[in-house]
Amino acid sequence: MHIITRRQFGRGVLAGVAGLSLKSLASGQPDKVKPSIFGGIEVGVQSYTFRAFSVDKMIEAMVSIGLSNIELWDGHLNPGKASEADFKAIKKKFDDAGIRVGAYCVNFPVDSKDDYLDRGFNGALLLGTNVMTASVKKPIVPKLDQWCQKYKIKLGLHNHWFGYAGFKGDRSQEFETPDDFMNALKGASDYLSINLDIGHFYAAGFDPVSYIREHHRRIVSLHVKDRDKDAEHTQKRFGQGSTPIVETMKLLKKIKFKYAANIEYEPETADPTEGTRTAFEYMKRALS
């Protein structure tokens, strides 16, 4: 087996990026990334990963890594401030780079007015997707289901683990456990769905693999992060923690999961590019 040193690997990556840049300059067109689909499973990224980046800088990073699918967070495109033209302009930026908006994440406040809901749901359609995700409080869920039916959009409810210092959630109001999901979906339309964060789910003491096996028909987005076994379930570069990412990817292949598995890499906030690249390569290997 030929061993590639870290220095050789680094030179190869830099050469590849330089080549892309030269091609882009020569053609006058932005580089398009190839579809990031491996073993039939689409690997994407939650744009919260790049929360310190502008949209343009995020697209550059995604192209350099090879990611062609994004779950766009409302911190990058706020439906309360963005016009229809803004949504179309952002979509064109992604289209020009070969990136598909697989889902639009809007964390609707519990007191959201009808106009704000309309702007969020219509924004998803303008971005070219009929999938949304949201971290919300339980009292707004019945209203969200009404808007899902109105716009024919699936909306995945997002879970957190409430045991770490960085999250100030309320267990009585937000989503952490399988029962939280079950109670929210009971009696709801089929549009109301689940956005399962496997790292948070694992940290909260639950098995994401068995949960996905049983409930995948109701899951429209996965957030993939690697949390460890320590008391804080510290977030790590992929492969250094203990979240069952490989087992999850193998199951996604087996069940032919039709939505994206989105990297949500939260460490290294100022520049998560290399950590995200490591995560992407780790998931590719798991899916090969």
Q: Does residue 63 sit in the same domain as residue 7?
A: no
Q: Which helix (H) or strand (E) holds 45?
A: strand 41-46
Q: Does residue 49 sit in the same domain as residue 149?
A: yes
Q: Does residue 21 sit in the same domain as residue 125?
A: no
Q: Does residue 10 sit in the same domain as residue 146?
A: no
Cα maximum dimension of the chain:
61
Q: Does residue 17 sit in the same domain as residue 93?
A: no
Q: Hey, how many other C-beta atoms are within 10 angstroms of the C-beta on 170?
A: 9
Q: Does residue 82 sit in the same domain as residue 17?
A: no
Question: pLDDT per residue over 142-163, tens digit each?
Answer: 999 999 999 999 999 999 999 8
Task: Give the domain CATH number at 100.
Answer: 3.20.20.150
Question: pLDDT per residue over 72-130, tens digit each?
Answer: 999 999 999 999 999 999 999 999 999 999 999 999 999 999 999 999 999 999 999 99
Q: Which residue has the higher pLDDT, 130 or 165?
A: 130
Q: Hey, how many other C-beta atoms are within 10 angstroms of the C-beta on 62?
A: 28
Q: Say yes or no to pLDDT of 28 above 70.
A: no
Question: pLDDT per residue over 114-149, tens digit each?
Answer: 999 999 999 999 999 999 999 999 999 999 999 999
The 8 Å CB, 24+ separation contacts for 47-50 are 47/71, 47/72, 47/73, 47/75, 47/76, 47/105, 48/73, 48/75, 48/105, 48/264, 48/266, 49/263, 49/264, 49/265, 49/266, 49/272, 49/276, 50/76, 50/272, 50/276
Range of the domain at 22: 1-31
Q: Does residue 66 sit in the same domain as residue 14?
A: no
Structure confidence at residue 30 (pLDDT) = 57
> Which of 8-12, 16-20, 164-168, 224-228: highest mean pLDDT?
224-228
With a CB cutoff of 8 Å and minimum separation 6, the contacts of 51 are: 73, 75, 76, 269
d(CA 126, CA 140): 23
Q: Does residue 223 sit in the same domain as residue 278?
A: yes
Number of domains in the chain: 2
Average pLDDT over residues 191-213: 98
Cβ(131)–Cβ(220) below 8 Å: yes
Task: Give the pTM.
Answer: 0.89
* Best CA proximity match to 183, nearest among 31, 174, 95, 191: 174
Q: Say yes or no to pLDDT of 69 above 60.
A: yes
Q: Does residue 22 sit in the same domain as residue 153?
A: no
Q: Does residue 250 sit in the same domain as residue 231?
A: yes
Phi, psi of 64, rounded to the nearest 5 degrees: -65, -30
Q: Does residue 144 sit in the same domain as residue 156?
A: yes
Q: Does residue 115 sit in the same domain as residue 229?
A: yes
Structure confidence at residue 165 (pLDDT) = 77
Cβ(232)–Cβ(190) below 8 Å: no
